[in-house]
Amino acid sequence: MYKFAFTYLVKQDKKTWSDFHYSLILLDNNILSKLKCKYKVLIFSEGEPSKKVKSLIKSLSSKKYDIFIKKINLKEYVKRDDSYLYPEKLPHVSDCTKTFSLGYRDMCKFFAIDIFKDNLLKDTEYFIRVDTDSFFLDVQRNFITSLEQINSDYGYINGTIQPEDKGVTFGFGNCLYNFCRKQEIMRLISNDYLKICQEATLEPNIFYTNFEIIKLNWIRQDLHTKLLKYIINKKGIYLFRWGDALIRYYSVKILNAKTSKLNGCLYKHSGMYDSRLFFKKIIGKIYSKIKRKSHENDYEFNLSKIDKIFLNIK
């Protein structure tokens, strides 16, 4: 039995494989190599890995953990129904002059529900999502200890709850409300469901990191499955671009999930998330602001000696 399955979804293009290569190196150096429990890495790929990535996977496979690559066609994997969609792209919702690809929406559905049915997770206690552009720049021992000892339904990096754009949450609060009002499930959900639905409508939030730890027994329980299927059947992922992070955040709240906030890491996704000690966090924020690097995607590739000193990266 594996405790964790660190799981990537990789689309087929040069930049994505390049990002994935560095993400996996950092994940191995800063987390995987420090874990004492049994774990594996799952790579759901829409195409053939680059030569560089194949070489990395071969070298990592000689270590104590298993790496599995599963090639998929994402549209077929999530069983997208195109009968109510435009042929290729849908409006961006928050900006009608732009479009948002169906592939992105397929990804949201993949992480919202479909991945948890996969046979590769049958022998696993916890699913851990990692994106190709997820970069763990520094991880301290307390983060590793908390991860190894986690006994919650859901885990996330401390300091990463943030507001979501209302342009991509249209109708979601009402969807939750209609589900919660079903008589047979009212006694099983949060007593604050009305307040939660109002928040989802007026001031929606998400866990914004694209890194999450999910207890599979929790997400597969009957009530949670009913909630996810209800949301999926409303087709909001495709029509209004409801994201998997939005769905997860409110599933956790509505179902009274037990959560864990993990401290002790400097993590880079679209921005910098620092859950280490207060002093390190303040110095890192000041330095990033001065360097104007807080939200740029170049820290992970261009860490100078001075960067490492001020960000306290060993």
194-208 pLDDT, tens digit each: 999 999 999 999 998
Indicate whether 245 pLDDT > 80: yes
Mean pLDDT of 12-16: 90
> Nearest 5°: CA angle at 245, between 239 and 246?
60
Q: Is the pTM for the entire model greater than 0.75?
A: yes
- Measured distance CA(100)–CA(108) in Å, rounded: 12
Q: What is the mean pLDDT of residues 170-188?
A: 90
Is a pLDDT exceeding 90 seen at residue 184? no
Average pLDDT for residues 165-188, to the nearest whole number?
A: 90
- Rounded Cα distance, 157 and 261, in Å: 6
Block residue for tokens 């046979």: 119
What's the chain's average pLDDT? 91
**Cα-Cα-Cα-Cα dihedral of 45, 46, 49, 54, to 10°?**
20
Residue 59 CB coordination number (10 Å): 10
Averaged pLDDT for residues 130-146 = 95
* CA dist., res. 197 & res. 201, Å (int): 6
Predicted pLDDT at 218:
97
Q: What is the pLDDT of residue 54?
A: 93
Per residue in 206-240, pLDDT (tens digit) is 998 789 999 999 999 999 999 999 999 999 999 88
Q: Partners of 274 in the beta sheet?
A: 266
Provide DSSP, 65-116. Answer: SEEEEEE--HHHHTT--GGGS-SSEEE-SS-TTSEEEHHHHHHHHHHHTGGG
Q: Angle at CA 80, nearest 5°, toward 77 and 86?
A: 145
Contacts of 156 (CB under 8 A, 6+ apart): 207, 209, 211, 212, 213, 259, 260, 261, 262
Distance CA 292, CA 285 (A): 10
Q: Mean of the pLDDT values across residues 243-266? A: 96
Q: Which tops the pLDDT comparison, 261 or 165? A: 261
Mean pLDDT of 10-15: 91
Report all structural domains of the chain as residue ranges with CATH numbers, in order of start. Answer: 2-276 (3.90.550.10), 278-314 (no CATH)
